[in-house]
Structure 1
Amino acid sequence: MIPHNVNIFTGEAHQWYHGISEKYGPIARVGPTSLITSNANVWAQINTKPGYKRSKWYFEACRYSGPKNLELYDALLLDLLHLIRTEYLSHPSTSSGRIIPMDLSKKIQFLTLYVISAVGMGRGLRHAGRRHRPLRALERAGAAHGRRLLGARAQRAPLTGRWIAPKATDQSRFGALMGACFRVVDERRRDMLASFVRHRLEGDELKSEALETLIAGSDTTAGALRVIILYVMGNKSVYVKLQEEVDEAVRDGRMGADGEGVISYAVATQLPYLQAVIREGLRVFPPVRNILPKDVPAGGDAVMVDGKPVFLPGGVDNGYSALAMHRDNMVYGEDADLFRPERWFEPNQNKLSAMIKANELTFGHGRSQCLGKNVAQMELHNMKTFFELFRYFDRATVDPAKPWSIMNTLGIVLIHDTWVQVTTRSAEGEWELGKGSPSAHCVSTHSP
């Protein structure tokens, strides 16, 4: 149990789970009563078979997906594009040019935090491009979250908790985020909070669910967006192919008569390489690394591993290793550790089906499927963000030796300091957002 706790504390638990799975096989022990699996079929069975219960790791929430979500996201994405265009464009190619470093990780966090707060609570926590206390509080809280576990009991203790635990009246750090969230809860808008109320949540329980929705809903999607963009930036072949597909969609009129607005879901689903890039990014670097353990039924259970039954005893919990499962050579091939979107054009339909089934487990399965999946897919699988960023801009890392800083805090990968330089894709530098399509000769001018 000590090695498990140490790796959680240091933020390296996902790598430790991966190593344990590589060494001991598809079902391995990580604690006295804790197992993990790297087998997609076993994990799917655990998440659907009656008798398995969520362990104490879990917090419950209610489902909500409003009809205005897509329109809301389009408006926020246009705000982000405008912010980049007006404040962060670099001009390195001219004699009087300049480079304006932009922290891509922070800008993506602004977007996802605003989306989840607007969808979840009816009002965003401020404009997506402006600095504000809730975002700074979210960053600081996330970085320290794993370490705070050591003081969790003290925070709950009657005598010490009131002095140690963050409070909604605090003016900084996590307490400031709590305060911003709780004030919106008290306004009782018609949104996800209304859904929570209909499911009989109230008072502190309602505020707790809203706060968890805000944190989990922004960090996970932001992590996926950052990772995929950085992986594409690091692979010239993928970068060029993706922009060629984006340019073709604009040139042939699929964006409308004048190319204005944000790409629609219907058009985005017709861009196979973009879909492959997103699926591959979620596979090779899953943004959520929680082991998500389930309690095995009291009488135990038999699961099939590579065609052979394996007995799981009652009284233990069984989680999974995200890295080991999504980089399984038996499913994805010998180059499973590499970022290669072309693997999703596999001609063998049986193999492709197995890959897709395993990949879909990124969002959980069965009763334990991610409750924010619809919102995440709006941001990811609608592919709007990727399409628009690669449509209008080129990016290059400012420091290739240190493209980002990452830390695993309780299974959520926090990514910071993704410094990039952004240039317009217009050869003349005069093309404006929403003023028509780019010229046909626009190609990638930067490669990492």
Structure 2
Amino acid sequence: MGVAALIYEARWLLTSVALAIWVALKIKQYYRLRHFKGPFGTGWFEIWHGLAYLSENSHLKFKEATDKYGPIARIGPNELMTSSIELLTHINGARNGYTRTRWWYLVGRFVPDRDTIFSELNEDIHNKRRAQMAGGYSGKENHELESSVDIHVAELVQLIRTKHCSTETKTKPFDLARKTQYLALDVISHIGFGEPFGDLVTDQDVGGYIEDVDKGTRASVYLLGFGLTELALGTPLMHLLGRSEKAKTGFGGMTANTRRIISKRLEDDPDMSKGTDMLASWFRHGLDKEQLITESIFQLIAGAETAATSMRSIMLYLLTHPRVYTRLQAEVDAAVKDGRAAPYPNIVSNATQRQLPYLWACCKEGMRMHPAVTNSSQKKVPPGGNTVMMEGKTVYLPGGTNIGYCVWGLNRDQKIFGADADYYRPERWLNEEDPKKLAQMNQVHEMLFGYGKYQCLGKPIALMEIGKTIFELMRNFDWSVTNVEEPWKETNTSGIFMTQDFLVEATERSVS
């Protein structure tokens, strides 16, 4: 009797053994985290976790879990989600032994065999890459950083003034969500590539980058939701999901466009000795051509989409809260009147806008109410496990467990932000008398940009761009929301928001 015949004869026995082994492994997996409660079935299967991403409202699903089951909720057989600031600061500490999880971070590998600073799992390589890239995000090496931002904020103001302003005789609604994307892409391409894409000047998505990001991030939802990320890397699925450079759209199309730009740049200036932008800095600090391509793609997505989301979120809350709107506009006008802000057409300096307390209370509160990024940023517990202190109690986390960051839950935590944490009130950042409480609130705000060794390198640029833009929009125009019943349409794709139809009306103000 042949081997095949023997296997056939014993098929039911083999099936029973395989099933028994599978059940035993499932039981073992369940009991590892049995002390952490979560939605039905999460101790046994990934279904709830996957469906949360596929719903395109994962931020709300995760908040519901931590609201119901506590600051650490179980969302999968080996996955926890936390809204504890104590645990999150501990996890992201420099020497605590937590590492990035393969399952989550590989979704940021836009080129099949090349990691970005986001997707790199090797801690030593990640730290080296951060050191190589840091100078490009600073004014010390990128000398035209602030002036580049100013150019495009001024272009946004000019675009609205010349093409989209409403008057007493004609209402001209326009999509502020799209205009903030134009601004963010022009800023990041200017400081990154040395020249902007030109979206604001042309009032269009030059090169189709916005369309590519939209398609690419939507494809990523399915990679995460169905657990296909690693399977897709380096296979024909990369083309189907728009990640192959042969694809005309999606991340593949973006990669091909970025390759053309960087190849031309290196052809014209092989040593990058003429540039003072990010590319030149990264090249001088040791990044090769392929690394320049992958990191440029990542910063286009991470830098542009998140800044645009923050700006439109802040504006939405300002436009729907007249008391706050009036007070902020008064602060802006006072800064112009007393000379702290240079007369228009000059753009407010970074130093000045950072010294306006109510402006930054409004910005922080807008970003708190609607964080720009809600990916879970899962970290893996060190192999030997880890005992941590939470709210005065010790909690043991088994080695190898994945722990995610519940962004929405933390930023709406009533223990930190008060009983009205679900409501927009910028004054909470100015009136808090307890210094420890205020420090904790600011720590939560810092966490929006990552924390510790994982903090976003582009944070200073983002804050500069956001503050300048909000100041100039409030200085130059009066605003209203066109569709008060549904101010915008929004979906959460892999932790990044895709927003459209944020229709607003802007009318001219007299400025000085």
TM-score, length basis structure 1: 0.88
Map of 2:327 onto structure 1: 241
2:114 paired with 1:68: no
Map of 2:483 onto structure 1: 399
User: For the residues of structure 2 that align with 1:288 and 1:67, how far apart are their CA atoms?
Assistant: 28
User: For the residues of structure 1 that align with 2:313 and 2:334, how far apart are their CA atoms?
Assistant: 25
Residues 161, 337 of structure 1: CA spacing in aligned structure 2 closer, same or farther, 3 A cutoff?
closer
User: For the residues of structure 2 that align with 1:155 and 1:354, how far apart are their CA atoms?
Assistant: 40
2:65 paired with 1:20: yes
Residues 181, 210 of structure 1: 8 Å contact kept = yes
Deviation at 1:205, TM superposition (A): 4.0
Aligned structure 1 segments of 4 or more residues deviating by more than 6 angstroms? none
Residues 163, 367 of structure 1: CA spacing in aligned structure 2 closer, same or farther, 3 A cutoff?
closer
Residues 319, 102 of structure 1: CA spacing in aligned structure 2 closer, same or farther, 3 A cutoff?
same
Deviation at 1:171, TM superposition (A): 4.8
Deviation at 1:350, TM superposition (A): 2.4
User: For the residues of structure 2 that align with 1:160 and 1:43, how far apart are their CA atoms?
Assistant: 34
Q: Secondary structure at the match of 1:287?
A: coil
Listed one character per residue, the Cα deviations across residues 15-35 of structure 1 (whole Å, up to 9, x for unaligned) are: 111011001111121111111
TM-score, length basis structure 2: 0.78
Q: Which has the higher contact order (CA 8 A, sep 6+)?
A: 1
Listed one character per residue, the Cα deviations across residues 46-103 of structure 1 (whole Å, up to 9, x for unaligned) are: 1004311122214245322222110100011111110100000111x2xxx1111110
Residues 110, 129 of structure 1: 8 Å contact kept = no
Map of 2:99 onto structure 1: 53
Map of 1:138 onto structure 2: 213
Deviation at 1:135, TM superposition (A): 2.8
User: Which residue of the other structure, out of 269, 273, 296, is the alignment partner of 2:358?
Assistant: 273
Answer with 1 or 2: which has the greater Rg: 2
Deviation at 1:377, TM superposition (A): 1.8
User: For the residues of structure 2 that align with 1:175 and 1:384, how far apart are their CA atoms?
Assistant: 33
Q: Secondary structure at the match of 1:336?
A: coil
2:190 paired with 1:118: yes
Query: Does 67-76 or 144-153 show the bigger shift?
Result: 144-153
User: For the residues of structure 2 that align with 1:300 and 1:83, how far apart are their CA atoms?
Assistant: 55
Paired letter, 1:79: E
Q: Secondary structure at the match of 2:483?
A: coil
Residues 185, 352 of structure 1: CA spacing in aligned structure 2 closer, same or farther, 3 A cutoff?
same
Deviation at 1:423, TM superposition (A): 0.7
Q: Secondary structure at the match of 1:178?
A: helix
Map of 2:440 onto structure 1: 354
Deviation at 1:390, TM superposition (A): 0.3
Q: Secondary structure at the match of 1:379?
A: helix
User: Which residue of the other structure, out of 395, 400, 403, is the alignment partner of 1:310?
Assistant: 395
Deviation at 1:173, TM superposition (A): 4.9
Query: Does 205-214 or 160-169 show the bigger shift?
Result: 160-169
Q: Secondary structure at the match of 2:448?
A: helix
User: For the residues of structure 1 that align with 2:185 and 2:425, how far apart are their CA atoms?
Assistant: 29
Map of 1:42 onto structure 2: 87
Identity over the aligned pairs, expressed in percent?
Answer: 37
Query: Does 103-112 or 29-38 show the bigger shift?
Result: 29-38
2:163 paired with 1:103: no
Residues 47, 365 of structure 1: 8 Å contact kept = yes
User: For the residues of structure 2 that align with 1:162 and 1:80, how far apart are their CA atoms?
Assistant: 36
Paired letter, 1:261: N
User: For the residues of structure 2 that align with 1:242 and 1:386, how far apart are their CA atoms?
Assistant: 10
Map of 1:388 onto structure 2: 472
Map of 1:334 onto structure 2: 419
Map of 2:200 onto structure 1: 128
Deviation at 1:331, TM superposition (A): 0.6
Paired letter, 1:262: I
User: For the residues of structure 2 that align with 1:165 and 1:387, how far apart are their CA atoms?
Assistant: 38
Map of 1:90 onto structure 2: 166
User: For the residues of structure 2 that align with 1:253 and 1:208, how far apart are their CA atoms?
Assistant: 43
Query: Does 263-272 or 13-22 show the bigger shift?
Result: 263-272
Correspondences of 1:224-239 after superposition (within 5 Å): 224-239=310-325
Listed one character per residue, the Cα deviations across residues 103-149 of structure 1 (whole Å, up to 9, x for unaligned) are: 00000000001111111222222242421222333334334441355
Q: Secondary structure at the match of 1:128?
A: helix
Paired letter, 2:184: T
User: Which residue of the other structure, out of 361, 366, 377, is the alignment partner of 2:463?
Assistant: 377
Map of 1:364 onto structure 2: 450
Q: Secondary structure at the match of 1:337?
A: coil
Q: Report the count of equivalent residues.
A: 421
> Cα RMSD (Å) of the superposition?
2.1
Residues 160, 42 of structure 1: CA spacing in aligned structure 2 closer, same or farther, 3 A cutoff?
closer
Correspondences of 1:175-186 after superposition (within 5 Å): 175-186=252-263
User: For the residues of structure 1 that align with 2:59 and 2:245, how far apart are their CA atoms?
Assistant: 32
Residues 101, 420 of structure 1: 8 Å contact kept = yes
Paired letter, 1:177: M
User: For the residues of structure 1 that align with 2:236 and 2:67, how far apart are their CA atoms?
Assistant: 45
User: For the residues of structure 1 that align with 2:183 and 2:358, how far apart are their CA atoms?
Assistant: 24
Q: Secondary structure at the match of 1:22?
A: helix
Map of 2:409 onto structure 1: 324
User: For the residues of structure 2 that align with 1:313 and 1:153, how far apart are their CA atoms?
Assistant: 24
Q: Which runs of 5+ in 2 are unaligned?
A: 1-45, 106-117, 121-128, 267-271
Higher helix share: 2
Map of 1:30 onto structure 2: 75
User: For the residues of structure 2 that align with 1:359 and 1:200, how far apart are their CA atoms?
Assistant: 33
Q: Secondary structure at the match of 1:70?
A: helix
Residues 111, 128 of structure 1: 8 Å contact kept = yes
Deviation at 1:302, TM superposition (A): 1.3
Correspondences of 1:148-187 after superposition (within 5 Å): 155-156=232-233, 158=235, 161=238, 165-168=242-245, 171-186=248-263, 187=265
Paired letter, 2:143: P
User: For the residues of structure 1 that align with 2:57 and 2:333, how far apart are their CA atoms?
Assistant: 40
Paired letter, 1:413: F
Q: Which runs of 5+ in 1 are unaligned?
A: 427-435, 438-448
User: For the residues of structure 1 that align with 2:187 and 2:498, how far apart are their CA atoms?
Assistant: 18
